Amino acid sequence: MIKKISMVWMVLIVGLATAIGQKINIPRVIADAETQTRLMLTEILKAKNNSPSLVSPHVLKKGKLELVPSGGWTSGFFPGELWYLYELTGKKTWESEARKFTANIEKEKFNDGTNDMGFKIYCSFGNGYRLTNDAHYKDVIIQSAKTLATRFNPKAGVIRSWDSYKNKWDYPVNIDNMMNLEILFEATKLKGDSSFYNIAVSHANQTLKNHFRPDFSSYHVVDYDTITSQVIKKTTHQGYCDQSAWARGQAWGLYGYVMCYRETRNKAYLQQAEHIASFILHNPNMPPDLVPFWDLDAPHVTDEPRDASAAAITASALYELSTYGKSNKKYKLTADKIIKSLTDNYRSPLGQNKGFILLHSTGSKPSNSEIDVPIIYADYYFLESLLRKKKLDAGKKLLN
């Protein structure tokens, strides 16, 4: 089995040689992202339409830019994108815009009706604190972690995802929730309170135990009985069916366990990340350009829409995974191929699509919502991947 996997990797690496022979012009891609984001800033003002509660761009539907209020789960991605542009360019204008859009969602630090604290607060205030050491941002991160911790059920050992859908689940936990653990790890480092760390580890352990199939693909939603702590059922909300591999869900799991290994050095998390990466990259329904169909098990899959956001998330995770271990160059080579595919074939023409950077993402196919459209989190993880690639290419530390 080991020899078979090794041979697959060898074939993949040889195939990558030609693809990455033509290197990505990172300065040009960053400059193009700046051009698009300037357009986005203009379009946001138009799209607000005298609605001050709308604070961040989310998606482009039928040519219309849709914004979300601070409570929307995607509200933190555009502020985070602005912080990444500041980090990539050093231009104070991007810092100024990042501060403005970050401030727009500060009240979410007290919102205990959602599990998406990491997406909202860590992508915005977390990046802001990392780059500026602003003491106020530190306070927001800690308060947000306290709020998120209230959604933890000690009996089940996991953080509740949605409060809605009560007719469908008792205590739902989605794979996306792995992405919200980073803010808990950060709060322990900032405050010295290990309770946040312990909650994150418990959630990661229970998810590892209950969310994954023998082939290391992931269920989307696991429903828990909070009295017995037992799993009631394993289902999906955004995948093709309960047993299928929803592409973005697989990417969330990969990214989440790479991050958990970074924060804990628990080798079980590293092994899990490697297993998930193998499932994604060796999947027979993965297209040659490594930008997946929205669900890898959908029928007639080659006719299904792609999900550029899943590819961008996967690439970012693989860049970090490549830094753990001496023989992990294969992960960086693969991430390079994904980013080259996105750069060459999935970017918006300059001056179009209201300023979005990437095209061809899929939000929720089962809900017939946001299919084959630009979505803000695809742009966020694309820029994060570019930043990580730039650092690795320069021989610098990935995380500071």
At residue 135 the predicted structure's pLDDT band, cuts being 50, 70 and 90, is very high
Q: Are 187 and 121 contacting, i.e. CB atoms less than 8 angstroms apart?
A: no
At residue 244 the predicted structure's pLDDT band, cuts being 50, 70 and 90, is very high
> For residue 2, is pLDDT > 70?
no
Q: Are 84 and 94 contacting, i.e. CB atoms less than 8 angstroms apart?
A: no
Q: Taking Cα atoms as reference points, which of 96, 94, 108 lies closest to residue 37?
A: 94
Q: What is the mean pLDDT of residues 289-308?
A: 97
> For residue 1, is pLDDT > 80?
no
In Å, what is the CA distance from 165 to each residue of 171, 227, 390? 10, 19, 42
Residues with a catalytic annotation lie at 116, 176
> For residue 298, is pLDDT > 80?
yes
> For residue 21, is pLDDT > 60?
no
Higher pLDDT, 322 or 49: 322
> For residue 349, is pLDDT > 50?
yes
Q: What is the mean pLDDT of residues 81-103?
A: 98
Residue 326: predicted pLDDT: 74
At residue 77 the predicted structure's pLDDT band, cuts being 50, 70 and 90, is very high
Q: What is the mean pLDDT of residues 218-225?
A: 97
> For residue 204, is pLDDT > 90?
yes
Q: What is the mean pLDDT of residues 307-311?
A: 98
> For residue 294, is pLDDT > 70?
yes
Residue 8: predicted pLDDT: 45
In Å, what is the CA distance from 213 to each residue of 154, 161, 210, 242, 357? 24, 20, 8, 12, 34
Measured CA to CA, the distance from residue 106 to residue 184 in angstroms comes to 17
Q: What is the mean pLDDT of residues 159-178?
A: 93
Q: What is the mean pLDDT of residues 326-346?
A: 94
> For residue 13, is pLDDT > 70?
no
At residue 400 the predicted structure's pLDDT band, cuts being 50, 70 and 90, is low
